[in-house]
Amino acid sequence: MPTLGTDKLSVQLYTLREALTDDVDGTLGRIAEIGYKLVEPFGFQKFFDGLSSALPKYGLSAPTTHSSLVDADVDDVLAAAKELGIQTVIDPHTDPARWQDADDIAKIAQSLNAAAEKAAALGLTVGYHNHAFELESVIDGKHGLEILADNLAPEVILEVDTYWAAGGGADVPALLGKLGDRVQALHIKDGDGSKDVKKQVAVGDGSLPVWDYINAAPNMKYGVVELDDSAGDRFVAVADSFAYLTGKAA
């Protein structure tokens, strides 16, 4: 079975949002104990002080983060990311209503391109992360996410959430092939593929062909484990996902 190394395997901290809100240090300590070397914060400015002390304490780094960029004042976000050692800031969500028209999608791309210019001055990059609606939108035979990619500056990357791409009706390996080298990160999730996030489970315990997705993005720098929710203990799911993806499962 293929495996991912710890230099590529990350975990989206939204998965453990309740624990993180209560205790940043303790949460990152548990993540490091599992074996992760990388994390992907969300709302990182809210947790900035805790992250800045706990990341080096536990030998963790955060190469990517989620933070709003589209039609936002990005200067403070980018400066804070630079200070924390983050390399890529990824917009995690936009208004689904903006994905029904190609011109509206192009405007989202323009906002990301503008943010990318500011990021480049700091040695950073920016990107975009999808949910299902960017794939449910099909205009002239193209998924909305493909239209976005067509309008992005070359330096803007994509983090494809494979679970939601499949849930939005995309043939995920084919989509990743079309998006090509722009795909620098994947969100790796498992479950039954439905929109009931309580049905999400540890990677390897569901029905999604996660290795087909990973293999379809050969230039992926980071595979990010995430559960939007789960009926079970999400810390256990994060640990089981790590074991499965690194080939250390019992």
Residue 165 contacts residue 208 (beta carbons within 8 Å): no
CATH assignment of the domain containing 192: 3.20.20.150
**pLDDT at position 249:** 74
Task: Tell me the per-residue pLDDT of 3-30, one tens digit each, with 9 for 90 and over.
Answer: 999 999 999 999 999 999 999 999 999 9
Answer yes or no: is 102 within a domain: yes
Task: Tell me the per-residue pLDDT of 35-65, one tens digit each, with 9 for 90 and over.
Answer: 999 999 999 999 999 999 999 999 999 999 9
Task: Tell me the per-residue pLDDT of 90-115, one tens digit each, with 9 for 90 and over.
Answer: 999 999 999 999 999 999 999 999 99
Question: Mean per-residue pLDDT for 205-209?
Answer: 98
Answer yes or no: is 25 within a domain: yes
Q: Is the pLDDT of residue 240 over 90?
A: yes
How many domains does the chain divide into?
1
**pLDDT at position 250:** 61
Answer yes or no: is 3 within a domain: no
- At residue 18, the 3 state secondary structure works out as helix
**pLDDT at position 248:** 87
Answer yes or no: is 2 within a domain: no
Tell me the whole-structure pTM to 2 decimals. Answer: 0.97
Distance from C-alpha of 26 to C-alpha of 34, rounded to nearest angstrom: 13
Alpha-helical runs (H) found in the chain: 17-22, 24-34, 48-57, 75-84, 102-121, 133-136, 144-151, 162-167, 172-179, 210-215, 234-245
Answer yes or no: is 36 within a domain: yes
How many Cα atoms occupy the beta-carbon half-sphere of 211 within 13 Å? 10
Supply 193's token pair: 């593929």
- Structural domain including 182 reads 9-246
